[in-house]
Amino acid sequence: MRIAQVKIEKNVQGGSALTRLPNGSVCFVEGALPGESVEIEIIEQKKDFAKANIVKILEPNLKRRTPPCPYYGKCGGCNAQHAEFELQIEVLKQIVFDLFLRTAKINLPQNFEIHHGSEWSYRYRAQIFANGFLMRGSNVAIPIEKCMVLSENLNKKIKETSLAKKTYLFDNQSEKFLGKHIHADESVFFQSNLELLPKLIEEVSKAAGKGELLFDIFSGVGLFSAFLQNQFERVIAIEQNPLCQKFAEKNLGKNCEFYAMDAEEWSDFSGCVLIDPPRTGITNKLCDTLCKNKPNKLIYISCNPATLARDTRKFLNAGYTLTNIQGFAFYPQTFHLEMMAVFL
């Protein structure tokens, strides 16, 4: 066991705090915040870095708070409740600035904005394990009476349902969403924060403008296509998960075509392309195809700033210009951020 006193420099992707040990080596500290002086215990030593836990907070960040949830630290869902929500947004912004400078080799504009809604009761979709959530770093479920980030209806469902295994719950407010009836259920992915989602749709709609052809790649149930279809003469939605097709056929209009296939199999993209990939970002093959086809506009929705920064560098190398970039804090009480980037 090694004990050291250190000053925290900043937080990094995922929420861990970065500091340097007395010998100059990098150390990642769980639960620390920028500017804090802390006493730490080294729990893991690698060749290039170490990991540590806090033993004692010597000088706390002025925006540190006592986590309001009784399950915090045990439940694996939240990892930012020890920071006031204002600080959570500040930390997310600094993380994104660092990622894009290091990986995309660009400075984001100082007016880069992170949109957000309520910090509590915002989740309308959740993965439940035996009437609770998995403990941090474990496959063991911890039962809960009430989750502070879940909607009231989801908390009721947890109490009313006896769940012996992993289950997805969906409080489907999307049925009356922005004036449209968007069809979806718990069997397919749908954004969890339905309060903030309209802002993302609004910004995507403005960025897309009007045109002849829209490609909606990783379209899911056709959410974005449903709101953009009146702005384009033709919409092509591509989604690999076949379970999405029955919902997309209900959500999309006559000028829309849905293809249940891997986007890598499509070789000819043009017009405006909307991309909403998983956390891994887009594959090299798909990126190469897009850069070769050179559609006149790319709108990239990302749930992982690290892979967005990586792919941004590839698009810039291919001759695109980053013209618009925004953040969306869909998951308050976590250091998770979703983003929208527009390339012309």
Rg of the chain taking only CA atoms, in angstroms: 21
Scan for tokens 């695109």, then name that residue.
320
Q: Enumerate the β-bridge partners of residue 132.
A: 143
Q: Note if 303 is an active site residue.
A: yes
No. of helices (H) and no. of strands (E), the chain: 7, 18
Contact 300, 308 (CB under 8 A): yes
Q: How far apart are CA 44 and CA 47, in angstroms?
A: 10
Phi and psi angles of residue 46, each rounded to the nearest 5 degrees, phi first:
-105, 180
Reference 244, options 269, 218, 275, 273; nearest CA is: 218
Q: How far apart are CA 44 and CA 52, in angstroms?
A: 7
Reference 96, options 12, 34, 9; nearest CA is: 12
Q: How far apart are CA 155 and CA 131, in angstroms?
A: 10
Structure tokens at 105: 């080799």
Instruction: Show which residues are catalytic.
Output: 303
